[in-house]
Structures are given as C-alpha cells and as structure tokens.
Amino acid sequence: MSQSRNSLIVGIATIALIACLAAAGGFWLRYGGYGYGVLTRRGGSYWRSMRVDDPHLSPAIRLSLQNPQPPAIAGQLMWTTREPGFQTAELPVFVSGAKIDEILLTRIDPARFRFTVRNAPNGDLGIDQWEKRLPSSLLIVNGSYFGLKGYPDTPVRMNGVSAGPSKYAATAGAFVSRDGAAEIDDLHDLDWKIVLAHSSNAMVSYPLLIGEDGRTHVKSKSRWLANRTFIGEDVSGFIVVGTTREAFFTLDGLAQFLKASPLKLKTALNLDGGPIACQSVRVGAYHRKFYARWEVQVSGDQVRLLSWPFTKATWAMPMVLTVERGPSGACCFTKEEGATAPVPTERHADRTGGRPAHSGHLPTSSPRH
C-alpha cells in the first residue's frame, strides 16, 4: 500500500513538473528574456478598472477626462544653455489659468552632438540602469515601439546596423541622424528603406504629430492618455526632445498643443509613451531625472488604469535614444552598450494614434510595453 502511494505521489509530482516546464517554455517562446525581466522587475502588469473621477487618477487625468476636454495653452518658454548647442527647459501647460502639466524639454544642435538608438531586450534596464551603463550620455529618453520580446517593433538603425521588421508599412515619420545632421522625415511620400539606408542611427515611429506641411497628422481622436514623449525639429534645425510630466494629453491634443506652442517646430514625431516614458539629462552639475507613471484607456465613463503588482518598481526601457558629445554619426557603440542584432520580421503597424495592435491587451501579470 505504501509503495503504491509513493508511486502515485511521484507520478503526480512528475506531471506537475512537466506542466510547469511546459508553461515556462511557452512563456519563453512568446515573451523571451523580456518577459522574465518584466516579471522579476515589476511582477507583470494589468489594467485596473475605475470611474473617470476615481481619486487614484491624477488631477491632470481627471481634468482631461472632462467632456468636453478643456483647452490647454503653453506658458512662458525659457531655454537654459547647459553647454554650447545643448539647452534645457520646462514648458508649463495651463488650463483655465492653472498649471496642470509640464513638458521636460531638451534642445540639441546635431552638428555638435550625436544621437544613438539603443535596444536592450532583456527587460533589465530602466532609467537608473541606463544611467549607470552610459555615464557619458547627456540625454537618455525612451525610443520607438518594441514587441513582446523587447526587440524593435518598427524599423531602426543602430550605428549603421538595421534592426526591427524588414517588411513594414510606414506612412508616418522617422527620426534620422547622419554626418553631423539630424531631422524628422515625413514618410508619406518616402520609402523608409531608402531613408534609413543613408542614416547612422534612425527609428521609424508614429503618429507624425506635425508634418512638413505644418499641419497636425493625428488622423483619429482617442481618449487614451499617457505620459508622452516626442522628438521634433525646429525652424533653426535643432532637435527638440520632450517628455510630459503628467498624462493630460491625448495624441491629437498633444499635436495641436505643440503646433500652437512657442517651440517653433517644423516637424514632430511621437515616440512610445506610458510608464516607460522616462528621461535623464546630465550635463555638468545639472541633472534632471524623471520617472513616468501614467497610462489609461477610456471608454465612456469607464477608465482602465495600467498598473503593476510591485507598485514602487520603475519600468524597463528596451528602446532608448541617447545623446553624446560629438556630431551625429561620429562614432559607434558596442553590443554591451545596447545594440542588438537585426530582427528580420514582418509587421504592419496601426497608425491610428495608439500602440501596435497587440500592445496593452496582455493577460494579468504578463509583460507589457
């Protein structure tokens, strides 16, 4: 009797072990190292349902969710030169005379500084870890979109090496840097493969907030709110990078705000947003570090707030754009600094002003970008 019972216990344990290994293998196949990095870093993520007036939402979000949404206007813009060709500012956002948000800005001369696109797909590098890995980077900010395994979800160039999908329907925009110059290219009438082929570092993203025609290019209205990051080119040929401190703006709202702002942008391109929209600026004694937090989906009077079990954890940033001294395209970086091998996949991204189709719809405690 005892031997039979022991055999039964061993059999059950073996079946359980096989099931666990199969589940772990399936998780790895779907999410790779990024998935395990997310689970250990923040415990996964999930959408938490609440009403539009829930106190867990920030005052800026609750104000933005009013119907109709109140208009926002820019406050005074004052650039501070940290060193020649590198300036910072904080642009206040006012609603009905009260400051409700702020855009953390950096303005860079591409003739003096170089831009580098980097990818760390293991989900282990947040803004703190990127700072330690890249002590000479003056600016670190999140980049374009990434897939379930942490690799680029749009075509990119990293020091002359192509990565991301090899087949891609791009009609929005691309940030491109080469030979001491950088710009935002409107891809409406351009082939992204040709545009990126002549670059040292570049990334396709969407939507295009302001096109070369001076108009806003967000084609659909959405009530999706998040910390936002954008990159633009102003009338002087400087590159302007901005991150919102709050989540007041929808994408079409941000586009309209930037067009009317004192930034004098010729073009502006949206980058990925939400809790990964972190930023670091380090120039001499000046250090500005920002940890993003917010992302909400809205339908009617119901809100879904993006949340995670380890509430004090900050998010990993698989795709980042960094700025170092020296003109664009002047030098390179190693794989250990954040490069990856090309990822030959095919992707047709949604350009409606949200994220890629799979993003944000993962089950509880699954990785999400």
DSSP string for 55-87: TTS-HHHHHHTSSSPPP-EE-----EEEETTEE
pLDDT at site 97: 94
Does 363 reside within a domain? no
Cα gap 63→222, rounded to integer Å:
16
Cα gap 104→227, rounded to integer Å:
11
- Give, in degrees to the nearest 5, the angle at Cα 189 between 183 and 193: 65
Does 138 reside within a domain? yes
Cα gap 53→68, rounded to integer Å:
15
pLDDT at site 262: 97
Half-sphere CA count of 161, side-chain side, radius 13 A: 19
Q: What is the total count of domains within the chain?
A: 1
Does 357 reside within a domain? no
pLDDT at site 8: 59
Does 19 reside within a domain? no
pLDDT at site 83: 96
Does 13 reside within a domain? no
Does 226 reside within a domain? yes
pLDDT at site 29: 62
pLDDT at site 17: 60
Q: pTM score, two decimals?
A: 0.86
Among 178, 46, 28, CA closest to 110: 178
In tens digits, the chain (369 residues) has pLDDT values of 566 666 656 556 666 666 665 655 665 566 667 877 788 889 888 999 998 889 999 999 999 999 888 999 999 999 999 999 999 999 999 999 999 999 999 999 999 999 999 999 999 999 999 999 999 999 999 999 999 899 999 999 999 999 999 999 988 999 999 988 999 999 988 999 999 998 999 999 999 999 999 999 998 888 899 999 999 999 999 999 999 999 999 999 999 999 999 999 999 999 999 999 999 999 999 999 999 999 999 887 789 999 999 889 899 999 999 999 986 544 444 444 555 544 444 444 434 334 443 343 333 333 333
Does 266 reside within a domain? yes
Owning domain of residue 229: 25-347
pLDDT at site 331: 47
pLDDT at site 342: 45
Residue 309: count of CB within 10 angstroms of its CB: 13
Does 132 reside within a domain? yes
- Using CA atoms, how far residue 97 sits from 69, 94, 150, 244, 279, in Å, is 15, 6, 41, 18, 27
> CA 353, 347, 38, 135: dihedral to nearest 10 degrees?
-80
- Spacing of C-alpha 293 from chain mean position: 12
